Amino acid sequence: MLNRIKRIFRHRWVDESATQRAIAPDMLQRLQQRVAASEQRHSGEVRIYIEAGLPLSYLWSDAPTRKIARQRALDLFSQLGVWDTAANNGVLIYLLLAEHAIEVVADRGVNGRVHPSVWPALVTRMSAAFKQAQFEDGLTNALAEVSALLVQHFPLGANEVNPNELPDAPILN
């Protein structure tokens, strides 16, 4: 019970200004441009979601914080329609600032082709960059890695165009 109360305070203490400090408007614009450029090279869709703290409904859970963050990422994957791409090749990069948690959720088309060990390794590299307050570098490198995987497994053919199925702008909440 005490851990739950601590978690609630931690998440209520962190607000949207934390996301704005971590991700400045000009960085947000550059990330959006990088997502758009990435999607010109493959048929996948990439979304970035950065959240200061969890909604209260998640905070009452007895589950470990890691499990709660994963569940939130899965819920957002669904809510944002990342699972609903034509080739089932969407990827969500989720950051939860209050817990310093990072989750990568890939649709079944991607997971069917990419070895499961790739995602934890990517998260580890992102985490190392974030610990040094290098948010843009961490996100840019993660996006480059995800893009490389999507180019490898879902390349666009000659003269093929990838219809933009999802918005490119990262979401700050």
Decide the pairing of beta strands 90-96 and 101-106: antiparallel
- The set of long-range contacts for 80-88, using a CB threshold of 8 Å and a minimum separation of 24, is 80/47, 80/49, 80/166, 80/171, 81/166, 82/45, 82/47, 82/107, 82/166, 83/107, 84/165, 85/44, 85/45, 85/109, 85/165, 85/166, 86/43, 86/165, 87/43, 87/44, 87/154
Per-residue pLDDT of the chain (173 residues; tens, 9 = 90+): 677 777 776 766 676 677 777 788 999 999 999 999 999 999 999 999 999 888 988 888 888 889 999 999 999 999 999 999 999 999 999 999 888 899 999 999 999 999 999 999 999 999 999 899 888 999 999 999 999 999 999 999 888 888 999 999 999 98
DSSP 1-52: -HHHHHHHHHHHHS-HHHHHHHS-HHHHHHHHHHHHHHTTSBS-EEEEEEES
The per-residue pLDDT for 129 is: 93
Residue 109: CATH number of its domain = 3.10.310.50
How far apart (Å, rounded) are the C-alpha atoms in residues 64 and 76? 19
Taking alpha carbons only, the member of 167, 17, 41, 40 closest to residue 92 is: 167
Domain encompassing residue 15: 2-172
The per-residue pLDDT for 1 is: 66
Q: Considering its fold, how many domains does the chain have in total? A: 1
The per-residue pLDDT for 167 is: 97
The per-residue pLDDT for 15 is: 66
How far apart (Å, rounded) are the C-alpha atoms in residues 21 and 24? 6
Phi, psi of 24 (to 5 degrees): -70, 155
